[in-house]
Amino acid sequence: MLQLHFVKGGLTFLGIKRINVLSAAFQSTQRVEYKPIKKVLVANRGEIATRVFRACTELGIRTVAVYSEQDTGQIHRQKADEAYLIGKGLPPVQAYLHIPDIIKVAKENNVDAVHPGYGFLSERSDFAQACTDAGVRFIGPTPEVVQKMGDKVEARAIAISAGVPVVPGTDSPITCLTEAKEFSDKYGFPIIFKAAFGGGGRGMRVVRSYEELEENYTRAYSEALSAFGNGSLFVEKFIEKPRHIEVQILGDKFGNVVHLYERDCSIQRRHQKVVEIAPAALLDPQLRDRLTHDSVKLAKQVGYENAGTVEFLVDKHGKHYFIEVNSRLQVEHTVTEEITDVDLVHAQIHISEGKSLPELGLKQENIRINGCAIQCRVTTEDPARGFQPDTGRIETNIPFLQNVLNNNQFLQGTVDTQFIDENPDLFNLRPVQNRAQKLLHYLGHVMVNGPTTPIPVKVKPSSVDPVVPPIPMGESPSGFRDILLREGPEKFAKAIRQHQGLMLMDTTFRDAHQSLLATRVRTHDLKKIAPFVSQNFNNLFSLENWGGATFDVAMRFLYECPWRRLQELRQLIPNIPFQMLLRGANAVGYTNYPDNAVFKFCEVAKENGMDIFRVFDSLNYLPNMILGMEAAGQAGGVVEAAISYTGDVADPTRTKYTLDYYVNLAEALVKAGTHILCIKDMAGLLKPKASDMLIRALRDRFPDVPIHVHTHDTAGAGVASMLACAHAGADIVDVAVDSMSGMTSQPSMGALVACTKGTDQDTGIQLEKVFDYSEYWEVARGLYSAFDCTATMKSGNSDVYENEIPGGQYTNLHFQAHSMGLGNKFKEVKKAYAEANKILGDVIKVTYFDIYYDYI
Ligand code: ADP
Ligand code: MN
């Protein structure tokens, strides 16, 4: 029977004979010289070139890349130690097929060996031969073996001669349709036309009836001709629903062959592998033995050297049939590496150097399966459009692969080569959100183009992360909030009034960074330091952490929820009262809201942790303030009615905002039931003498009401004024931690603590803790340098007493002037502001954040 086959395919017969002799010769007489490889050229591109370079680098071998003109910027070029252009003027594929250029590069650059990768020239015996002729080693089998394995008809004959079962098929290429008819008459349909020199699933046509025969023959022929330069076809019986299982082999120059077990590549589309798995699921151990045994036998038969794959189909009855040998490294080699722990490229190189498999530790009994590995081929094809080639980012067939991996039949390990064709639901693709891609894109954009949110100045944030000072363990010490919760707002106010020494409100969590950093500080940085504040500053009157700008910036720029910020800070700081700024009937917005909205807002704010509501109106318009006060009071909050301060009560020439004006207003507010009275000096106009006059007058008139003073340090006299206020009877003054104080922000906490230490106004705060707190903010502030007013403003300025610009607005105007190229004319800008104020009848001026942000 066998003999007959050989006679029919005489040429094959002769070939086998010769190989048999050769392989016998290897085993007996061949002496192989060991020649180390020092430099490898990879005649390929992309992933596989990089893969081989990696192995070379691991082995201390120098690497050489070749690249086409179109691939000048490709990564494989950069990954190699040397790189040379090939195929000048040719299309990209042709360049990598240009044998003379590649050989030239190899010879001119002392290359010891060429690795062909997969595809391109990897299975071209003429290339293997050209390398050998040029004295360069070809990392792969000998040219003769490459040639035999490249011819599928010949490979089949070799399999037969080795006693390996093949699919019933023609023993030689067919020359006319009649031969195909004869074959189908004998074996019945379906049959398959296959290109004798084919690969990559091309040149293959399944025929299920006589009617389809001719057309498929013609098509397969022309496909084979155009793809492989040779139209020669042979015919095989088409096996229905087989599994594709292949065996990885390694052979050395001494005739040793080992296998590295199998891979299941049944998941295919158009006869091309899509998913590869090692080892094959649910494979009968006896069948595994037959497959691996046959593969080794076949490799030995041809004197197979280096890495190769023997491919089989396994039918529904567990019968296996040889289909072809791939005499090269395969795309899916990595899954075998994963489960056997053998680096196949290392092995290929060592074998080429002349090492034997036993020398490499590759004895069959040492090679074991450990675990399993799956590879999916991510391609630039769009499954939703019939796997059409696609351009752009490589995302497209990933959802399809996910469907395959989640498919029940796949999970049960019972798939065959027709799986994809028979499961249309694999094409129900969920549109991908590409969240990770989008995020990467965004980060890349920010890295290259800077922040996407508007910033006033192009200063990079510091790369140093603020370090939180050590925090004592355990619960926070009790603070004034405990009194408030226990006894309610009235008694809380009483306790404040009775307290000995000066009390402080810390504005670092709001007004300080509003004035210096355009309110950009994120909850993240506030939360980090919050436990430290809770532990060390429990005797603060309150912590200001909320206001209109908080809402505006959190939602417009930070994409944060201001409510969540409140909740989270509340959890971290349970002991210190929180204070917010409420714009009377405007709440935290820029317009008059319906009363019930303001009431509800206060109610919810209180529920979420707000304690003290500083209610103000930019024009000191009483009805607006009263509404806010009622809303805060009804919500159960502490009401702190704030009088906006402007002008100078100590200047007898100013007749609009006199001492009487303020005292009368305070009278009305106290009458309306405020728990605390506040002087809100937004521009920092309150000088020490005026402080003394104003606070003393209020103190005398309202001996029982706590007085709270807020100022900005724009001119630099803030500390002096606050000390004067304290001396005149103020209970509480506003400060910001040192590194967030001064200029348009509040006066320095450390300065106030130090200056009152040991006096009647002693704050009871430990100065060392202020230093620690300040150090955190000094570093944290660096993260916001693009928003830091010090980018353009270097100092405070006493001309604020002339122009009366509120702190936040001053910063804004300064940025604005600079951005409009008026940086050197800021003095004139300020003068114009003062003139406008006079024309408008000397109004109270506040920083409104819609004005502030419109320009950035
Ligand atoms: P290529 O060289 O293109 O890889 P193969 O001969 O390895 O060609 O076949 C590729 C795939 O085509 C196989 O995995 C299998 O799915 C299908 N195929 C090939 N021959 C047959 C056959 N005789 N019966 C059924 N399917 C076949
Ligand atoms: Mn194949």
Question: Would you list the DSSP string of 674-711?
Answer: -SEEEEE-TT----HHHHHHHHHHHHHH-TTS-EEEE-
Q: How far is the CA of 295 from the centre of ligand 2 (A)?
A: 14
Residue 849 clears pLDDT 90, i.e. is over it: no
Beta partners for 322? 166, 312
Q: How confident is the model at residue 5 (pLDDT cuts 50, 70, 90)?
A: very low
Residue nearest to atom 17 of ligand 1 (CA): 271
Atom of ligand 1 nearest to the CA of 268: 16
259: helix, strand or coil: strand
Q: How confident is the model at residue 453 (pLDDT cuts 50, 70, 90)?
A: low
Q: How far is the CA of 254 from the centre of ligand 2 (A)?
A: 27
Tell me the C-alpha distance between 332 and 274, whole Å. Answer: 10
Atom of ligand 1 nearest to the CA of 167: 23
pLDDT at 171: 93
Does the CB atom of residue 238 touch ligand 1 within 6 A?
Answer: yes
pLDDT at 438: 87
CB-based contacts of 809, cutoff 8 Å, min separation 6: 845, 846, 847, 851, 852
Range with the lowest mean pLDDT among 23-27, 212-216, 674-678? 23-27
Please indicate whether residue 799 or residue 626 has the higher confidence score (pLDDT). 626
Tokens 């056997």 found at: 340
Tell me the C-alpha distance between 746 and 807, whole Å. Answer: 9
Tell me the C-alpha distance between 374 and 372, whole Å. Answer: 7
Q: Is 328 a catalytic residue?
A: yes
Does the CB atom of residue 200 touch ligand 1 within 6 A?
Answer: yes
Q: How far is the CA of 620 from the centre of ligand 1 (A)?
A: 88
Give the ligand whose atoms come closest to the C-alpha of residue 269.
Answer: 1
Does the CB atom of residue 167 touch ligand 1 within 6 A?
Answer: yes
Pocket test for ligand 1, best of 267, 313, 326, 416 (most atoms within 8 A of CB): 313
Percent of the chain with pLDDT over 90: 77
Task: Show the tokens assigned to 691.
Answer: 């402080």
pLDDT at 21: 35
Atom of ligand 1 nearest to the CA of 198: 2
Q: How confident is the model at residue 400 (pLDDT cuts 50, 70, 90)?
A: very high
Mean pLDDT along residues 180-188 = 95
Give the ligand whose atoms come closest to the C-alpha of residue 198.
Answer: 1
Mean pLDDT along residues 584-608 = 93
pLDDT at 389: 84
pLDDT at 13: 29
Pocket test for ligand 1, best of 271, 418, 420 (most atoms within 8 A of CB): 271
Q: How confident is the model at residue 847 (pLDDT cuts 50, 70, 90)?
A: low
Phi, psi dihedrals of residue 152, rounded to the nearest 5°: -65, -30
Residue 556 clears pLDDT 90, i.e. is over it: no
Residue nearest to atom 13 of ligand 1 (CA): 271
Mean pLDDT along residues 327-332 = 97
pLDDT at 134: 97
Domains of the chain: 1-31+142-167+241-377 (3.30.470.20), 33-139 (3.40.50.20), 168-238 (3.30.1490.20), 480-645+659-855 (3.20.20.70)
Q: How far is the CA of 61 from the centre of ligand 2 (A)?
A: 31
pLDDT at 16: 32
Residue 672 clears pLDDT 90, i.e. is over it: yes
Exposure b/e, 24-33, CB count within 10 A at least 16 = b = eebeeeeeee
Does the CB atom of residue 323 touch ligand 1 within 6 A?
Answer: yes
pLDDT at 851: 37
pLDDT at 454: 59
Does the CB atom of residue 312 touch ligand 1 within 6 A?
Answer: no
Mean pLDDT along residues 834-839 = 90
Does the CB atom of residue 417 touch ligand 1 within 6 A?
Answer: yes
Q: How confident is the model at residue 451 (pLDDT cuts 50, 70, 90)?
A: low
Percent of the chain with pLDDT over 70: 95
Task: Show the tokens assigned to 449.
Answer: 């183009």
Does the CB atom of residue 244 touch ligand 1 within 6 A?
Answer: yes
DSSP 584: G
Give the ligand whose atoms come closest to the C-alpha of residue 322.
Answer: 1
Burial category of 189 from C-beta neighbours within 10 Å (exposed 0-12, middle 13-18, buried 19 and up): middle
Task: Show the tokens assigned to 721.
Answer: 């004024």
Range with the lowest mean pLDDT among 674-688, 735-749, 810-824? 810-824
Residue 856 clears pLDDT 60, i.e. is over it: no
What tens digit of pLDDT does each residue of 87-104 get? 999 998 999 999 999 999
87: helix, strand or coil: coil
Residue nearest to atom 11 of ligand 1 (CA): 271
Mean pLDDT along residues 824-846 = 88
Tell me the C-alpha distance between 313 and 548, whole Å. Answer: 72
Beta partners for 314? 243, 320
Mean pLDDT along residues 235-248 = 97
Does the CB atom of residue 324 touch ligand 1 within 6 A?
Answer: yes
Q: How far is the CA of 200 from the centre of ligand 2 (A)?
A: 7
How many CA atoms lie less than 13 Å away from 77 in the CB half-sphere? 13
Phi, psi dihedrals of residue 272, rounded to the nearest 5°: -115, 140
Give the ligand whose atoms come closest to the C-alpha of residue 195.
Answer: 1
Spot the catalytic one: 263, 288, 290, 328: 328
Per DSSP bridges, beta strands 638-644 and 676-680 are: parallel
Q: Of the candidates 483, 518, 486, which has an alpha carbon nearest to the alpha carbon of residue 497?
A: 483
Does the CB atom of residue 236 touch ligand 1 within 6 A?
Answer: yes
What tens digit of pLDDT does each residue of 138-168 get? 999 999 999 999 999 999 999 999 999 999 9
Tell me the C-alpha distance between 451 and 443, whole Å. Answer: 9
pLDDT at 395: 73
Mean pLDDT, the chain, whole residue set: 91
What tens digit of pLDDT does each residue of 31-45 get? 788 999 999 999 999
Q: How far is the CA of 446 from the centre of ligand 2 (A)?
A: 46
Q: Are 399 and 296 in contact (CB under 8 A)?
A: no
CB-based contacts of 106, cutoff 8 Å, min separation 6: 41, 64, 114, 131, 134, 136
Please indicate whether residue 464 or residue 717 has the higher confidence score (pLDDT). 717
Does the CB atom of residue 239 touch ligand 1 within 6 A?
Answer: yes
Q: How confident is the model at residue 807 (pLDDT cuts 50, 70, 90)?
A: confident
Exposure b/e, 160-182, CB count within 10 A at least 16 = b = bbbebebbebbbbbbeeeebbbe
Burial category of 820 from C-beta neighbours within 10 Å (exposed 0-12, middle 13-18, buried 19 and up): exposed
Residue nearest to atom 14 of ligand 1 (CA): 244
The three-point CA angle 696-701-706 to 5° equals 75
Range with the lowest mean pLDDT among 205-209, 815-819, 830-834? 815-819
Please indicate whether residue 829 or residue 390 has the higher confidence score (pLDDT). 829
pTM score, two decimals? 0.60
Q: How far is the CA of 326 from the centre of ligand 2 (A)?
A: 7
Residue 379 clears pLDDT 90, i.e. is over it: no
Q: How far is the CA of 107 from the centre of ligand 2 (A)?
A: 33
Cβ–Cβ contacts within 10 Å for residue 250, how many? 24
Residue 445 clears pLDDT 60, i.e. is over it: yes
Range with the lowest mean pLDDT among 486-490, 612-616, 659-663, 785-789? 785-789
pLDDT at 456: 62
Atom of ligand 1 nearest to the CA of 240: 25
Q: How far is the CA of 599 from the centre of ligand 2 (A)?
A: 76
pLDDT at 491: 98
Does the CB atom of residue 271 touch ligand 1 within 6 A?
Answer: yes
Give the ligand whose atoms come closest to the C-alpha of residue 199.
Answer: 1
Does the CB atom of residue 169 touch ligand 1 within 6 A?
Answer: no
What tens digit of pLDDT does each residue of 49-82 get? 999 999 999 999 999 999 999 999 999 999 999 9
Please indicate whether residue 844 or residue 825 has the higher confidence score (pLDDT). 825
Does the CB atom of residue 241 touch ligand 1 within 6 A?
Answer: no
pLDDT at 455: 61
